[in-house]
Amino acid sequence: MKITSFIICLAVGLMAHAQSEDYTRLNITDVVVKENNMESAGIGGTINLKNKSKLHDVELYTSSNLTITADFKVSTNYSRRSSSKSGSITLDVVYFTDYGGKKDKRTAQYMFFLDDERRFEAKEQFVFKNGLKPRQIKLSYKGQFQD
C-alpha cells in the first residue's frame, strides 16, 4: 500500500514538473502610449505563456477612442546545425489597434539566445489617416521573462 501511494505521488510530481517546463511568465511593465505629445499609462502585468500556444487579446491600453491589444506566442527553437539557435526561444507579438473605428495590425518578433538576458523593450508606431491631419500613436513597454 505504501509503495503504491509513493509511486502515485512520484508520478503526479513528475507530471507537474514536466508541465511547468512548458510554461513561462512574461512581465510587462512601463506601458506608455504617446499621442500628440500627450503620454498615458497603459496596463502592465504578468502573463503565463505556454510553449507554442498563443495567448489572445492581452489588453495593453484602452481609452474612450483607442484600444491596443496583443497576441503573444513563445516557442523554443530546434536546429541540427546550430546549438546556439537550438537553445533559443522566440517571442511573436501581434498588435491590434482600434482608433475610433479605424484598425491597424503590426507584428514583431524577438529572439533570445542561450546567454541573452531575456528582456526587451518594445516600441511600435501606428499612423491613422484623419483627412489632412494624420494621427501618430506610439506604444512602448518593457518585457522580461521570469525563470
Place of cell 473605428: 101
pLDDT for 103 = 92
CA distance 83 to 123: 30
pLDDT at 107: 95
Cell of 33: 502610449
Tell me the C-alpha distance between 86 and 49, whole Å.
Answer: 19
C-alpha cell recorded at residue 127:
499612423
143 — phi, psi (to 5°)? Answer: -130, 145
**pLDDT tens by residue, the chain, 147 residues:** 445 443 444 344 434 444 445 788 999 999 999 988 899 999 999 999 888 788 788 999 999 899 999 999 998 877 777 666 667 888 999 999 999 899 999 999 998 887 778 899 999 999 998 788 888 999 999 999 986
Which residue is associated with the grid cell 512520484?
Answer: 10
What's the pLDDT score for residue 67?
A: 94
3-class DSSP assignment, residue 123: strand
Please give the full DSSP string across 29-77, using - where no structure is assigned.
EEEEEEETTEEEE---EEEEEEBT-EEEEEEEEE-SSEEEEEEEEEEE-
- Chain-centre distance of CA 145, in angstroms? 9
Residue owning grid cell 481609452: 63
> What predicted TM-score, i.e. pTM, was given to this entire model?
0.78
